[in-house]
Amino acid sequence: MAVSIADNLARIRAEVDDAARAAGRDPSSVRIIPVSKYHPVSQIREAHAAGYALFGENRVQEMVAKHAEVADEGIGFAIIGNVQSNKAKPVAELAAELQSLDSLSLARNLDRRCAALGRRLPVLVQVNTSGEPQKSGIAPEAAVDFARQLQQFEALDVRGLMTMAVFSDDEAEVAACFTRLTDAQARIRDALGGGYDELSMGMSGDFTLAVAHGSTCVRIGTAIFGPRVVA
């Protein structure tokens, strides 16, 4: 018998809970965002039936198309991929959350559009903790200055930081990325007097390690939905 999406979600929830308890943390402090990019709406509905309402999407266009299908079903989307400033309009209008803010131009554009809509958009700042040039995100050493500049944008509800660790079998290399994010969080909290409680780090291959290092949000795709089908 094939393992269902609900079964996968239950297994991952149990692994997250175990990792949290082992770190002396409350399991309820860690949320799971199923990453539905390149997966069909039918699978999103299966995960929704298992109790999940927020799904991660990389591409704004894909989020827009899926949102049109499920908007009246209590399903929302978090954008976790890079967003060009010219894609700010659909993000401001439709996204439940943005986890990849990494430029002032995008922040300014989103703030203006969200203010006009009368909404505050929950956002996380993406930090490039691996130093890989192909990855988006601000440098860890720029985090405090960037956080200070974001204070001017009243329509953005800045809740924390996000990162993608290096893809490696070397656990120490992966853990170092997570430590760089927690260090950036600590520096921001010292500078701003608190806040930035969310740390979105950890994916299918490294989420238990991320939880051990303080993650409050893990983004899981393949381990829930299986291999992606890219058209």
How do the pLDDT tens digits run along the chain, 231 residues long? Answer: 578 999 999 999 999 999 999 999 999 999 999 999 999 999 999 999 999 999 999 999 999 999 999 989 999 999 999 999 899 999 999 999 999 999 999 999 999 999 999 999 999 999 999 998 889 999 999 999 999 999 999 999 999 999 999 999 999 999 999 999 999 999 999 999 999 999 999 999 999 999 999 999 999 999 999 987 655
Place of tokens 């439940």: 96
For residue 3, the model assigns a pLDDT of: 83
Closest CA to 126 of 108, 107, 152: 107
Query: 178, 210 in Cβ contact below 8 A?
Result: yes
Query: 46, 73 in Cβ contact below 8 A?
Result: no
Is 122 in a helix, a strand, or coil?
A: strand
Burial of residue 80, with CB atoms counted within 10 A of its CB: 0-12 exposed, 13-18 middle, 19 or more buried = buried
The pair of structure tokens assigned to 109 is 């554009």
For residue 230, the model assigns a pLDDT of: 58
| Antiparallel, parallel or unpaired: β 54-57 and 156-162 | unpaired
Query: 196, 188 in Cβ contact below 8 A?
Result: yes
For residue 18, the model assigns a pLDDT of: 98
Domain 5-225 maps to which CATH number in 3.40.50.300, 3.40.50.1820, 3.20.20.10, 3.30.70.330?
A: 3.20.20.10
For residue 179, the model assigns a pLDDT of: 98
Give the predicted TM-score (pTM) of the model: 0.95
d(CA 183, CA 78): 24
For residue 1, the model assigns a pLDDT of: 57
